[in-house]
Structure 1
Amino acid sequence: MEFISTIMERAATFWRNRRFFKFRSNNGSSNNTAQRMSNDKNRKGTEGTNYQHHDFNEEEINFYLRNHPEILEKYLMDEVELEQLERWMIRRTQKAKKMNYANRKTSLSRWRFCVHADKRQMLEQLTQQLQSKPTKAHVLFELSSCISNAVNADGFRLYIVEDAADNLSFVMDSETFDEHGEPKIQKICDDASIARYVASTREPTRYSRGDIDPRFPNVISDKETEHVLCQAIVYPDGSLVAVLEMWRRESGARFHEEDEEISYSYLVWGGIALHYMSIYINLNKQKKLNDFLLAVVKSIFQDMVSMDMLVIKIMNYAQRLVNADRASLFLIDSRTNELYATIFDVGFEDDIQEKMNSPRAAKETTQKLKSEEIRFPIGTGIAGQCALTGEIFNIIDAYSDERFNRNVDQLTGYKTDTILCMPIFIRGSIIGVVEMVNKRSSYFSKEDEEAFETFAVYCGLALHHAKLYDKIRRSEKKYRVALEVLSYHNQCNDYDLEKCDKMGIPSTIPDIDSYYFNPFEVDEYVKVNYVIFMFKDLFGFNRFEKRDLMRFTLTVKKNYRRVPYHNWTHGFAVANSMYSILKNSDLVFRPNECLALFIGSLCHDLDHRGKSNKFMLDSESPIAAIYSTSTMEHHHFNQTVTILQQDGHNILAKLSSTEYKQILSLIKHCILATDLALFFPNKEKLMILVDNEKFSWSVLEHRMMVNAIAMTAADLSASSKPWEIQSETVKGIFEEFYEQGDEEKRAGRQPIPMMDRNQPDQQANSQLGFLNGICIPCYSLLYRLIPETRPMLKQCQENLARWQNIDEQTKQKE
């Protein structure tokens, strides 16, 4: 009645405002009605007259509209809003409904349009469905049910798109459900040419059995289907989601344009719902994926024990991610161009992650899953093709793909249906392939591909780090083996130990505490006993083992390389010079400082290669990569510690833990002080303290600076020896310089003149610069702090004068 009353009221007003209208009817009653309507316009107050003031009844209005539909059409087009018109159309179609969907088990499918039903209700229902079952397939099915009901279809088929190429892969229909009452997703088996056409064109299509259309020959294979309406379901951006195919039986009418308009109006709103459904689902999936990946990263990178355990974890996580039944991971052997796997065909186990958290259970699980290594050429089978092309393979029917190797199923008795195969990249190169087999529910979707592709990135990083970890672990084992071999060969042997022991420690050594003692006159092995004599004289044997000291000294001797200058003789000479300073300094140094100074002097150039720190940096030596400053000095200290840590070599073993740490720290300070780059700032600070009379032996920092100056003085003691010793030492120094210069030339670098073998006349000049710039300032400062060292300064000055004479003679010859 609402429809009729509204039409009558609005139509009457419309007709009153017209200046004239004509009746085109031969019926007498029509003339009477027309006459009554015509007379009405002559009445007064027509403009404001209501419908009830006239004698038009419902029968007359209906009769007139049936005979003049153009008037009704014009009125509806001009006066009625679109939303009101859609409501009327929905109510009208409800009267002709024939289907009864009592067998449907989902709530929305039982919904019937009532008087107040409209698209808002549909959207509300879809929203509720989205919250309870947030899957694209379910929301699409419910939307299709709404549209099918609206157009009075007997049933529908929903073809779902699963790739960017708009290929229709799966279908759901209104009559097939699983045991839980949910719509069942099936592979497309029958001819879906209409649906494929609509998918490609996005155009709605109507077709009835018997129609002649060259696009769809014999398209209707279902005996019950007589009429078909096919409509594309798209997102607001135009991308295809699915194709809805609605059908009617022979007893039903053909689909008309009005049916297309109704379904299209629903799809417009449904497309919006699908769009936000997609956003909701993607956000939800992304959150789950992020949580999943975080768990993966924690598990993989925190517990990186072995490659096999990592492979098991990766496969199990991948299975859980895409809900696959089986998993395999193949790595690429670039040398043989093959794929290989030691752990193959991991099944779905919910507790495998818990097992991997226990070391014992993890080992048992790894051994259980580990089998004989499987190898096959790249390009063979699905996994081989994936490794060859770097493409993702999502195969719905494995047996219909010619690349699938059926032999595996025949051997295992396991039937493969669906496969998802993903390459694993690192730095643009494929390092492996992960293969998932048989999704536990239906098929591997596009979403599975995207999530799996993200996961594959983490797999690649994990495998890359696991390989590095394995390399590091193998390198560490090799290092231990090499260190064991080195420790054996760089230690003194029992023969040398017995030889020195039989020689005995001399009771006295003439001039051993003289600043001018000549180290070149002492035999190599005798030097060892002289060192033990000096050690005993300074510290005694109460806290030190004589045999350990002898073994330590012999090993130190063996670890000095046979280079022209920085050799065992130099190490002995520096230790002897420090002994002289300590013996003649009237106990200005504390006991632990004395011990550190003597050991540091003896070991200060251990394993010296006869090259400067700059050369090590320029040649990119591995030592320079470890120590960027004071390169060789750090190495000398580490060699000292290494020797102390060997069995039978720890001469500090009887000291307390506190003393041991303190002396090691002092030894390091003393050895690093021999780097001349540190001498200059140290000297400047100490000079200021002395000049300003602020130096104090009771201040630890001041004493540390004196220790450093004393180490430099002992290291350069050859310049404070008599001329015969000085000149002999300089020959060794320059031979070492020249050898470094030769290597620099071979490397394409030009050495400085002092290291150039072709410029021997530079020796005197370079010595003048060395004595004036370093030695004289060092011994002058030391003399001011320890007056007993004056002989070192005096002899250095005399040597300077000799070099000045030689330099003048050289210049006169030029």
Structure 2
Amino acid sequence: MPAYVHIRPFKAILVILSLLRHLLATQWDYSRRCRQPTQPTPAMVDATAAEQFLDANPQFAKQYYDINFRPKVIADLLDTNRQPAVDVSQFHELTTVEESEILFDLVREIQDNLNMEKSVFNLMKHLSFMMRADRMSLFMYRQRNGVAELATRLFNVHKDAEFDECLVAPDSEIVYPLDIGIVGHVASSKKMVNIPDVSEEIIFYKLIDYILHGKEDIKVIPNPPADHWALVSGLPTYVAETGLICNIMNAAEDEFFSFQTEPLDDSGWTIRNILSLPIVNKKEEIVGVATFYNRKDGKPFDEMDETLMESLTQFLGWSMLNPDTFERMNKLENRKDIFQDMVMYHVKCRKDEIQHVLNTRERWGKEPDECEEEELQEILSEVLPNAREAEILEFHFCDFEHSELDLVKCGIRMYYELKVVDKFHIPREVLVRFMYSLSKGYRKITYHNWRHGFNVGQTMFTLLMTGDLKRYYTDLECMAMVTAGFCHDIDHRGTNNLYQMKSGNPLAKLHGSSILERHHLEFGKTLLRDDSLNIYQNLNRRQHDTVIHLMDIAIIATDLALYFKKRAMFQKIVDQSKTYENWNDWTKYMMLETTRKEIVMAMMMTACDLSAIAKPWEIQSKVALSVAAEFWEQGDLERTVLEQQPIPMMDRNKADDLPKLQCGFIDFVCSFVYKEFSRFHEGITPMLERLLNNRKEWNALKEAHEAKMAALEARKEEAQRATGAKQASAAQSQSKTCSLS
């Protein structure tokens, strides 16, 4: 967002202002602490003497402040959970420090809020409070069919206003020509107009208000309704036209603009004084008009108000309200919402689909959302598989014998085995919908489909339970890790990150690195944002932040490029574990080491993602063919679409090299992670043993293929030698001649 370019230096200024605030607040404490403890206690120093001392010793004061206060002050200011410090419930005189606090909070809010209209609305509320203005309105300047005009976007904003009440819908906006009113004057002239006493001005143009309907049909309303009081005066148009700041100190006596003198609402509110300013972008084009009404203290807006609001509206225009950017951001956000709605429609578990697991219609004669948790639990107790019988606790688990619906049920069972359903109050219906929706979110492709996604989640579950890695993690963390395993490849396209970049896929433009991994993460988080799918909905704020943070790390860790960077760190952790004689002491140490736990978790995700290579041979050999088939499909795309020669691994013309490629993959990628985990926890040794066995099987196939190729090459060479001998013999017989003397 272009706004960030302008926000950051402004934010730095606000940090400095806040630092100065704390410096002044600590002057007395500073002078008191600077006394030598060995000397007799001097007489009490008053604030004036302390201030004089600081003024006389600025370098000394700065050094003391930098050492003792600056780090904490900056940390407090940048804390993401920081709450606004200024009471905005009632108008009051603001100190410089309070103004800086408001501006700092405002900038933070702008940075965090992606909805442009809400950001502008919040800005206007802050400005109304700082100016002690009753009302504020925003008029957007634009050109339609080459005709300049102004349109209401946010109307009647005050410090206690609600966004939905002030937002003007596109079909309800008030559009009028630029040559009418004071707002138009400001937009045209790009200058501030401050009208202290409207009684001293002359009558302006008569207002003609028109509203656009449908296909550019224009309906002229010569007498605007009373709720358009901000336009009747002509002030917005005048400001937009002239670019002047208009400060009108006595609206009732103004003759230049036609302000209504009667009350404008049931409370008897009337216009007393107005401050209207143009909003200008970096190109010095007027993009809107901001208008403030009635200072709360009854006084007219003064020169200080003009200066402050001019600076802030410039900031607003430069960073946020360029019309093109504003419209483009809103359109993009609307498109995003539409596409997200389309995706959720196709991915979310439907009412008829949930009956495949929770058959409440047949059992209870009602929908799941009408049932009590006990009734849903009774059904799940009957339909979910037994963990031992389904072998979901085994490293050799095979999904070939299960349908995709069976895998959904097995996934639900894992949450019960982790004992998180009741502990974190996961609604049964939500859990079922979430797992079912995950299965639908995976595309029907050759390898990176729901079966692969489930296998990764199942291996994570087995590493925690059977491999005994759960001893380092809390139940909350285990839930996040298993969920990350299930989500890690959702919506995979069957092509890798490099292909996304070569083909110019929008994902590559959206995510600079770990392209697909970031997409899978965002897709999973999108599902979790839906109330009917959010298994985290009953967590508190801190717990929710923890699980989302762990999912971020875990899913991004499936990028093999990051795996190679973390191998050395993981190896050091394993080495360190061998220095502890008492296993419980090591466990206690690890439970408190957040960074080490995250590194181990990242390596667990890699072990899970590659787990097919450590399955029994009869499983591994079939899965390897599925992986190779998907690679060959990408190679075909590279050859036909990108017109490039694929690498051997992606080239189906070199399918006979698969055993050799598998041996290389095991040696250079897989061996490390399973060897280290077997060294870390003996319970994970079966994975290493099967990996080594599969290495032997692939090597045998490789040697058989090489022997076959060597035999073919030998026969070919023998045939070439035989052919060469025949040709030489024929040439020799033809060269014999008779010599006569």
Instruction: Give TM-score scaled by structure 2 length.
Output: 0.50
Q: Which residue in 2 is equivalent to 1:559?
A: 441
Asked if structure 2 preserves the Cα contact closer than 8 Å seen for 1:585 and 1:788, the reply is yes
Q: Distance in 2 between matches of 1:637 and 1:589?
A: 24
- Range with greater deviation from structure 2 (677-686 or 478-487): 478-487
The 3-state SS of whatever aligns with 1:702 is helix
* Pairing 1:726–2:620 present: yes
Alpha-carbon shift at residue 688 of structure 1 (Å): 3.1
| Correspondences of 1:787-798 after superposition (within 5 Å) | 787-798=682-693
Instruction: Identify the match of residue 619 of structure 1 among 503, 512, 517.
Output: 503
Evaluate the alpha carbon distance shift between residue 678 and residue 356 of structure 1 in structure 2; reply closer, same or farther with a 3 A threshold: farther
Asked if structure 1 preserves the Cα contact closer than 8 Å seen for 2:387 and 2:393, the reply is no
The 3-state SS of whatever aligns with 2:653 is coil
Q: Which residue in 1 is equivalent to 2:294?
A: none
Asked if structure 2 preserves the Cα contact closer than 8 Å seen for 1:564 and 1:733, the reply is yes
Counterpart AA for 2:634: Q
Alpha-carbon shift at residue 585 of structure 1 (Å): 3.0
* Pairing 1:809–2:704 present: yes
* Pairing 1:742–2:636 present: yes
| Correspondences of 1:394-413 after superposition (within 5 Å) | none
Q: Distance in 2 between matches of 1:485 and 1:366?
A: 45
Asked if structure 2 preserves the Cα contact closer than 8 Å seen for 1:306 and 1:470, the reply is no
Instruction: Identify the match of residue 475 of structure 1 among 314, 323, 332.
Output: 332
Instruction: Identify the match of residue 384 of structure 2 among 499, 505, 512.
Output: 505
Q: Which residue in 2 is equivalent to 1:766?
A: 661
Asked if structure 1 preserves the Cα contact closer than 8 Å seen for 2:448 and 2:494, the reply is yes
* Pairing 1:548–2:442 present: no
Structure 2 alignment gaps of length 5 or more: 1-119, 125-136, 151-174, 195-205, 219-281, 284-316, 360-381, 581-585, 710-741
* Pairing 1:603–2:436 present: no
Evaluate the alpha carbon distance shift between residue 464 and residue 751 of structure 1 in structure 2; reply closer, same or farther with a 3 A threshold: farther
Evaluate the alpha carbon distance shift between residue 754 and residue 351 of structure 1 in structure 2; reply closer, same or farther with a 3 A threshold: closer
Counterpart AA for 2:209: K
Alpha-carbon shift at residue 472 of structure 1 (Å): 3.4
Alpha-carbon shift at residue 478 of structure 1 (Å): 2.9
Q: Distance in 2 between matches of 1:686 and 1:694?
A: 15
Evaluate the alpha carbon distance shift between residue 462 and residue 500 of structure 1 in structure 2; reply closer, same or farther with a 3 A threshold: closer
Q: Which residue in 2 is equivalent to 1:776?
A: 671
Evaluate the alpha carbon distance shift between residue 784 and residue 778 of structure 1 in structure 2; reply closer, same or farther with a 3 A threshold: same
Q: Cα deviations across residues 393-446 of structure 1 (Å, max 9, x unaligned)?
A: xxxxxxxxxxxxxxxxxxxxxxxxxxxxxxxxx99xxxxxxxxxxxxxxxxxxx
Evaluate the alpha carbon distance shift between residue 461 and residue 315 of structure 1 in structure 2; reply closer, same or farther with a 3 A threshold: farther
Asked if structure 1 preserves the Cα contact closer than 8 Å seen for 2:517 and 2:555, the reply is yes
Q: Which residue in 2 is equivalent to 1:709?
A: 603
The 3-state SS of whatever aligns with 2:701 is helix
Alpha-carbon shift at residue 485 of structure 1 (Å): 2.4
* Pairing 1:576–2:428 present: no
Counterpart AA for 1:808: E
Alpha-carbon shift at residue 466 of structure 1 (Å): 2.0
Q: Cα deviations across residues 244-268 of structure 1 (Å, max 9, x unaligned)?
A: xxxxxxxxxxxxxxxxxxxxxxxxx
Counterpart AA for 2:396: Y
* Pairing 1:533–2:419 present: no
Alpha-carbon shift at residue 628 of structure 1 (Å): 1.0
Alpha-carbon shift at residue 702 of structure 1 (Å): 1.6
Asked if structure 1 preserves the Cα contact closer than 8 Å seen for 2:142 and 2:323, the reply is no
Counterpart AA for 1:550: V
Q: Which residue in 2 is equivalent to 1:519?
A: 399
Alpha-carbon shift at residue 559 of structure 1 (Å): 0.2
Higher relative contact order (CA 8 A, sep 6+): 2
Asked if structure 2 preserves the Cα contact closer than 8 Å seen for 1:565 and 1:736, the reply is yes
Q: Distance in 2 between matches of 1:694 and 1:463?
A: 57
Counterpart AA for 1:475: L
Instruction: Identify the match of residue 488 of structure 1 among 345, 348, 354.
Output: 345
Evaluate the alpha carbon distance shift between residue 663 and residue 463 of structure 1 in structure 2; reply closer, same or farther with a 3 A threshold: closer
Alpha-carbon shift at residue 642 of structure 1 (Å): 0.6
Q: Cα deviations across residues 63-84 of structure 1 (Å, max 9, x unaligned)?
A: xxxxxxxxxxxxxxxxxxxxxx
| Correspondences of 1:403-442 after superposition (within 5 Å) | none
Asked if structure 2 preserves the Cα contact closer than 8 Å seen for 1:596 and 1:663, the reply is yes
* Pairing 1:651–2:541 present: no
Alpha-carbon shift at residue 477 of structure 1 (Å): 2.1
Counterpart AA for 1:624: A
Q: Distance in 2 between matches of 1:471 and 1:356?
A: 31
Q: Distance in 1 between matches of 2:521 and 2:349?
A: 19
Evaluate the alpha carbon distance shift between residue 672 and residue 464 of structure 1 in structure 2; reply closer, same or farther with a 3 A threshold: closer
Evaluate the alpha carbon distance shift between residue 307 and residue 506 of structure 1 in structure 2; reply closer, same or farther with a 3 A threshold: same
Q: Distance in 1 between matches of 2:482 and 2:517?
A: 16
Q: Distance in 2 between matches of 1:344 and 1:665?
A: 51
Q: Which residue in 1 is equivalent to 2:54?
A: none
Instruction: Identify the match of residue 472 of structure 2 among 560, 565, 589.
Output: 589
The 3-state SS of whatever aligns with 1:521 is coil
Q: Distance in 2 between matches of 1:763 and 1:305?
A: 66
What is the alpha-carbon root mean square deviation over aligned residues? 4.1
| Correspondences of 1:280-319 after superposition (within 5 Å) | none
Q: Distance in 2 between matches of 1:611 and 1:779?
A: 26
Counterpart AA for 2:408: V
User: Across the two proteins, how many residue pairs are aligned to each other?
Assistant: 408
Q: Cα deviations across residues 622-664 of structure 1 (Å, max 9, x unaligned)?
A: 1111111111111111111111111311111122211111011
Evaluate the alpha carbon distance shift between residue 351 and residue 477 of structure 1 in structure 2; reply closer, same or farther with a 3 A threshold: closer
Q: Cα deviations across residues 313-370 of structure 1 (Å, max 9, x unaligned)?
A: 9779xxxxxxxxxxxxxxxxxxxxxxxxx8557146478659999xxxxxxx998155
Counterpart AA for 1:726: Q
Q: Cα deviations across residues 692-733 of structure 1 (Å, max 9, x unaligned)?
A: 657955222222111111111111111111111101111110
Q: Cα deviations across residues 443-477 of structure 1 (Å, max 9, x unaligned)?
A: xxxxxxxxxxxxxxxxx999994244324323332
Q: Distance in 2 between matches of 1:554 and 1:356?
A: 62
Evaluate the alpha carbon distance shift between residue 549 and residue 737 of structure 1 in structure 2; reply closer, same or farther with a 3 A threshold: same
Evaluate the alpha carbon distance shift between residue 306 and residue 518 of structure 1 in structure 2; reply closer, same or farther with a 3 A threshold: farther
Q: Distance in 1 between matches of 2:448 and 2:407?
A: 16
Q: Distance in 2 between matches of 1:485 and 1:577?
A: 32
Structure 1 alignment gaps of length 5 or more: 1-298, 317-341, 358-364, 376-425, 428-459
Counterpart AA for 2:179: V
The 3-state SS of whatever aligns with 1:679 is helix
Asked if structure 2 preserves the Cα contact closer than 8 Å seen for 1:308 and 1:366, the reply is no
Evaluate the alpha carbon distance shift between residue 348 and residue 615 of structure 1 in structure 2; reply closer, same or farther with a 3 A threshold: same
Q: Cα deviations across residues 281-313 of structure 1 (Å, max 9, x unaligned)?
A: xxxxxxxxxxxxxxxxxx9xx999776567899
The 3-state SS of whatever aligns with 2:495 is coil
Evaluate the alpha carbon distance shift between residue 471 and residue 792 of structure 1 in structure 2; reply closer, same or farther with a 3 A threshold: same
